[in-house]
Every structure is written in C-alpha cells, then in structure tokens.
Structure 1
C-alpha cells in the first residue's frame, strides 16, 4: 500500500473544512480551526464534532475501539489508548505510537514503471563543471579545517567579498567548531563532510584554511577531494604562513580569476541536484508542502536528475514505503542496514526511537513519529530509490537517494549540500529562517505562515488547497528554475548560509 497524496481542486471560496487523505483513513484533518458542535462534511460523510479541533489536527470519522490501529495516509499512525467516538479530537491524549525497535523487512519491490529519462519543458541556466555536474551558483567558499581558524575564515571571506564584488556570485565562509579534539569515526566524519562540501558544484572555487596542529590535517583533507575538483581548490596553513591573510588573499584572487570566466548555460532540469527537507512540520505538511515537493522530485528524477532524502529518524514507521521502491536487492539491503543502524544509534544512547515529534510538531497536530514519517516521506515522490549514502558521501546515481543524517535541521541541510545538492526544498509549517550553503527554498504548509513571514518563505504551498496539486506544481517548478538560474532564495537574501557537522564521538 502506498501513501496517497491528496488532489484537491475546489475553487478557493468552496474549500472543504477538512480532508480525508486515503479511503482507508479513520481520521480527517481540519483545514481550519473547528468548534465543538459543528457539523462537517468530509469524504461523503457528515460528522458532528464532539471536541474543538485546531487547524492541522485530526478528528475521528468513525468510532475507534481502545487498542485499535488508527489510520492516516492509508497506514496505521498508532493505536488508540481509549475508545474514540466519531467527532472526537484524535491526538496525544488518546493515540500512541506502535513503533518497535526490531521489525522484519523483506524485499517485495513495487513496479515503478519506466525509469528512463523523460522529456520535460523545464530548464534552468547553470554552471557546468569539469566533472559533468551543474551548479546553480558560482561562489568562492572558504572552509576552515578546525574551529580555531573559523573566525579567520570569516574575516578572509568578508575582505575577499568586498574586493571581488560582481566578479563571482559570492565569497562565503563556513565556520564550524570541530576538527580538533576528535578521534576515530567522529574525526573521519568531520573530514569526509568538509571534503564533500568542498566538492559541491555551486563552489566555483574553494579555499581550505587550516591551523596546523589540529587532528583534521590540511594535507589529508586535500587528498579526500576528487582530482577533477582540485584545480579549483587552494589551501593556506595559518601556523606556517608569515601572514595568513596575505596568503589567503593571493589564493582567493587566483580562484576568482578562474571562476570569473564561468558562464551560465541553459540546461535541462535533469541537471539539478535537489535536496529534500522538512522542519517545524505541522498537520498540513503531509497534505500541502511535502506532496508538492514530492512532485518536484518526480519531475527532476524523471528527467534523469537526482533528489536526496535524508532525516532517517523521520522515516521510522514509513520505511517500508521506501524499501518497496528500491531499485534492486542491494539497494534494499543498504536501506535496511541504514534504518537499523540509526535505530541502534538511539538504543546505544539509551533513548527511545519514537521520541520525535518535537513540541512544535505536536502543537501543529502531529501525534506520533509514524504520522510524522508518513507525511515526511511524501517529499520523495514516487521515484525509484537508486542509492543509499553514508554521512559525508556524495551522489553517485540518478534517481532518489537516501542519505544518512539525523533530523536536526542544520545538520541535515549541511549533509544535503555536502552530498552534492545544488538546491534544497524545505517545507515548514511553523517557520524557520535557517539556511545552508546552497539555495534553501522554504515552502510554507499554510497560508497563515506565508503571510506572517514573507521574509522567510519562498513559496506558499497551501496553494495546493486552492488550485490543486497539478497547477501548483507548475508554479513551483517555475520558481525552482528561476532560483536555480540565479534569482536569490530568501536564505541568501538574509545571509542565512551556515553549516553544522554531526558530532557522534567523545571530545578530548
């Protein structure tokens, strides 16, 4: 059974009060705040509300016995902890997770149709790189190996940005606190992430600046960068330089001289590498923004492009939907291993695997992790899952890739950029200003957020409720192509261009 994205096509003045997503569902989702006593028509039946129900929250369409599963998206999102009457609010007081630590998985693939690239009318103007990738930006990135020179990197980038204004799209520093006092796999993860970030197609040039005595040694980091990218990489060691600022200035001048020769050219949408992300989700995320992002992912992958889905703890309870779309058994096995490894990560730290959703998610109407996950995986559309990457690895195949990273917004958006995404679509029901090294388009799940926070939001995905999913997909794709061609996203206008590295080990 697949999740079913709603297709809502009523005119704006006849919008329903609530929506049932799948025919099997036991609940409907309020599209506005509903009062107790209201009679609501939904999916061909009439329900009189016993409780008041907030926008994005659920109410029962039929009586549900204690212990019975409760379905949304056609799948169980938990079990009833008490008897629930038709018209009752269904939330944390009467619904609990049914997630288990150990679950059996078997490879039962779905037919996903022809995977060959399809023709598309969507194009954008991007920067073609020597390795065949295409960037949506042509920037100089200054990346410190260690936190000790993080502020140095910022000062270098600021001076160079002023000096070379207009010659490249931007000169940016990405400070972080790690690179020293780390050991083993934790140190390796930091080094892999930074080397992968330095290989992103949006970087027309990269300056790596090290201190000299850190564990994350500059020479070793350079060796991790693919050879076809190294002509666009320079390095400065602060301790061995008589003047690290003068050395950095010379290095960046040389990089700008190369990058300034790059020109945008028109390419098919299949050249886009699309990161898929949600944060501050609410009960409408799985109805508006996430299915819309899934449509965009389908357009890109159908054209031979690449989309990346991460936040692995936020697929718990919905992982089978992705496993049954695995291209082959090795991909299925890799996805099973990734899910089980992440569950073990929680267990080894003495934490339950179902502690997500966050307080903001709950306030927005999401009750269990299964419910959150079933909404979150809508961002992957219906594309075949062609690859599974460990944290810090980079894209290898067209199609939908699953990437190891936690749900934390800053860590996961950084991981998407390091994997090679050149743009990220980020759905949010509560709102956040956070950005990443690449254009990070915020899609509001509801009209209210889009109206209240126009400085944060790039696209009002609640248009799905007004105009339908097909029409809104066309509007979103036009916006994606415009931003991929150079129009700034809100995170760029607001200078929200940060990174965060996933630290998993001890600190010395």
Structure 2
C-alpha cells in the first residue's frame, strides 16, 4: 500500500475506495472526481452504480445501493443497505490450501503446566461461583497481593486477580450450564498458575459440579472455599491462597517454540481502516502461529454474517464445515427468535468510522483469521484442543468474547481497534490501533500501531508485531495489564429467576 495515496481500493473488482485522509470536493482520486467531502475512513464510488445493484469491497458484496450512485459520490448509510436477512444453505467443497508462512523459529519464555499447556503468565485467579461472593474475591485479591509483595516484585508470580461477575444463581438449564462451563474452562487456562474457586454454598453453580468439569491433572493447583461453611471465610480464603502461592513460587519460565502459543484474535470499536491495516496484520500473526503448529482462535460469530463463506471455503473437512454452518445459522436463529434482524450491526462508533453494513464489517473482521485452514469448531465454554484455526461460539460483545477466548485457552489475545477501548481480559490483551492518529492520541491504551502498514508495508509491520508478541508472551506487560484493566463477561442467554 502506497502511503502517499489519498485513498485505497483493495481489489480491481471493488466498486468503492476508502479515503486514507479527509478528502475535499473536486479532488481527483483513483481516476474519479469527488462530488462531496469524504471523511477519512469513509468510502466513495469508483463506478456508476444503479439502484438495487450490489456494491463490492474486499472482492465481495457489502450491500445494495438504495438509489443511483455516481462515481465520486460518498457511499454510506444514506445510499447503501445490507442484503442480509436470515439463514442460508451452504455446500461443502474441497478445502482451499493455506499459503505457507515462513517460520523464523521464534521462541518465547513460558510456563509449562502439568497438563502440557504453556502459560504466558503465572497468576493466581480467584473465580467466584456466584455473584454473591464477588466482592469477597476482590478483597481477598487485594490482601493476597499485599502479602505476596516480595514474590510479585521478584517476578516469581505475575499477579493475583479476582474476576467478579453477577451470575451463578437464579439461572436454569443451558443458561446455568454456560456459566459453569466458562468458569471451569477459565480455571484451566495455562496463565493461571493457581485458582481459588470461591463459592457461597447455596448457589445453583455448585463447586463440586465445577470441579467435576476440570481434569484431575489441574486439581493440584486449585483450591475451593465455601463461604457459608467457614467461621471466617476471609481467613479461609487467605489460607488457600497461601498454599497456591507457595506452589506457584517454584514455577519458572523456560524457552518454548511458537507452537506452544494459543492466540486469541478479536476486534472492537472498528473503523473502515481496521480491514485495511490491523485485521490483515492480525491475520498474519494467526498464520505465523498456526503454520508453526500453534493455535489461533477466532470468535464473534455475528460478525461473520456476510463473510462466512470465506471461512467455510477453508474448512479442513466436511464435519468441520457442517459444524460451522450449523453454528452460523444457529446464531442467526438466536437473533430471529428474539425478534431482532441478523443485520443489527455495526455500532454507532463503527458507522462514524466509515463502516456501513454488517457485510462490510464482517469481511474486514474475518481477516483476523488469516488464511489458515479451519481445523475445529467449538461451543461456548469449550477449550481448544487442536493446532490451526479454531472457530469459537460467542457473540461480538467485547467483554463476553474476550472472556470466551481466555476460557477456550488463549494465553494472549490480539485486539484490533479503530476507535479505541481500555478493556482487558484475563490474559494479556494486545491493543492494535488501525490508524496512527488513535495510536498517538491513546498511547495509554494502545500497544501497537498498525498504521505502520501504510508507511512501512505489511511485511515490516508483521515482523515488528510478531517480535512484540514474543516479548509479551515472555513477560512484557501490555497496556491493559499496566492499567489494571482486567474483567470477565459471561454470556447470559436464559431467564432470571
């Protein structure tokens, strides 16, 4: 991409280009004279488009023209609408082979766990089974950090964190099962060198049932406290934490190959530049990790609507294909059953940044999966078990999807953003700005400027980002960690009693 160009068209088949900077009426860009000012990140027409015709970007339709559009005219919500409606039928075809990515032999210093997983952090996590003891967990974390000051200062332990949430009781059936599944999966994340399951005692989400979901080889690093069963629940919690911290203090980082990395990929607060810079760059990282034998996890199923065929074409076999089509159509039914259109996206911030339809947002978003073969499809609260690209069931909500990624086993999450957000998940959450202006304005939020794709090229940006990921996986702190921005969000899908 030439940084001197005022606008960029991704492919010759595209009907629109994106302004790389604010453009004025009368300017000539890519052979057309602009009919009105075009804000940075917004689209203008390159061809005459008839009312009702498909409008293409990313070599694919991003919507339908609602009136005639002349070359040089601003293309946005006033003249472009979604074509999405409901479920679709799909047909399996031979998998498209991924383009090989050169493995440069990158290694990082990680914590090898008893079950074979490798953590990028050695932290103690306090997971409440129910919201009633969430604040108790936070108080325990503060006191445990004070008592573990020397171990934290020396780097033997990376932190003590409590993850409060309002669920675990007054839930039924699949809704309660989802809460239990995601908490049990979080307890198995390799970044948690120790876990305290903190219960109340009378809640629906019982500790014994949670422990039964967790393989026995993880139990040595898990303790459980039921507040109603203790004379002093705070002291009982501190005793359990003390046992865990003593064991964790013996853990040491050791060199491991890039194949040991489990990489979550996510976008939030996207703009039209996200699909040009940050998301393709993240896709390069997913390719680097999966080609090395590691795992990348892509979620946000509603932000695949309109672009799902790009992933379906890369499914490893017909079983994976069938499970992905069922997941995509099942999510569409979830919207329709609640009386909501499947296209009720993008957000106001996305629209202000230049994204018009869900198809456009999705086509940019799925680039985070690179060109890797889709090796597996897993449900919410399930853990990834395979190398390659895994598709994970979860909504687009930032807190819910980043939590689902951590529960699935991600030990680092790459999070692209065009508008910015301070949000962090339980694992290092690497904020990648789609544009230099955001990276400059919010240095306290942003870890990497993908705007360098425009100035230095994607190869140089890829090398720089991969080196940064290796450093973060080896212990370098992300902005969300230095800002103490860590939280979980649980997907609530049922009635509340």
Question: What does residue 139 of structure 1 align with?
Answer: 123
Q: Secondary structure at the match of 2:61?
A: strand
Q: Secondary structure at the match of 2:228?
A: coil
Question: What does residue 173 of structure 1 align with?
Answer: 162
2:49 to 61, 64, 80: 64
Q: Secondary structure at the match of 1:400?
A: strand
Matched, 1:33 2:22: yes
Distance 1:104 1:37 in 2: 45
1:466 to 439, 455, 460: 455
- Indicate the RMSD between aligned Cα atoms, in angstroms: 1.1
Matched, 1:150 2:134: yes
Query: Are 1:306 and 1:400, in contact at CA under 8 Å, matched by a contact in 2?
Result: yes
Matched, 1:265 2:254: yes
Greater shift after overlay, 127-136 or 370-379?
127-136
Question: What does residue 110 of structure 2 align with?
Answer: 126
Query: Are 2:279 and 2:416, in contact at CA under 8 Å, matched by a contact in 1?
Result: yes
TM-aligned CA deviation for residue 249 of structure 1: 1.1
Query: Are 1:272 and 1:300, in contact at CA under 8 Å, matched by a contact in 2?
Result: yes
Change (3 A) 1:76 1:113: closer
TM-aligned CA deviation for residue 25 of structure 1: 0.3
Matched, 1:91 2:76: yes
Question: What does residue 490 of structure 2 align with?
Answer: 501
Q: Secondary structure at the match of 1:16?
A: coil
Distance 2:360 2:103 in 1: 35
Distance 1:137 1:113 in 2: 31
2:221 to 208, 225, 232: 232
CA offsets 1:90-134 (integer angstroms, 9 cap, x no match): 00000011113021200013331588x974321111101111111
Question: Structure 1, unaligned stretches of length 5 or more?
Answer: 1-7
The 5 A counterparts of 1:324-363 are 324-363=313-352
Change (3 A) 1:190 1:137: same
Distance 2:87 2:463 in 1: 41
Distance 1:493 1:336 in 2: 40
Structure 1 stretches of 4+ with a deviation exceeding 3 A read none
| TM-score w.r.t. length of structure 2 | 0.98
| TM-score w.r.t. length of structure 1 | 0.96
Query: Are 1:120 and 1:269, in contact at CA under 8 Å, matched by a contact in 2?
Result: no
Q: Secondary structure at the match of 2:293?
A: coil
Query: Are 1:144 and 1:175, in contact at CA under 8 Å, matched by a contact in 2?
Result: yes
Change (3 A) 1:118 1:295: closer
Question: How many aligned residue pairs are there?
Answer: 492
TM-aligned CA deviation for residue 243 of structure 1: 1.0
Question: What does residue 198 of structure 2 align with?
Answer: 209
2:293 to 304, 315, 333: 304
TM-aligned CA deviation for residue 343 of structure 1: 0.4
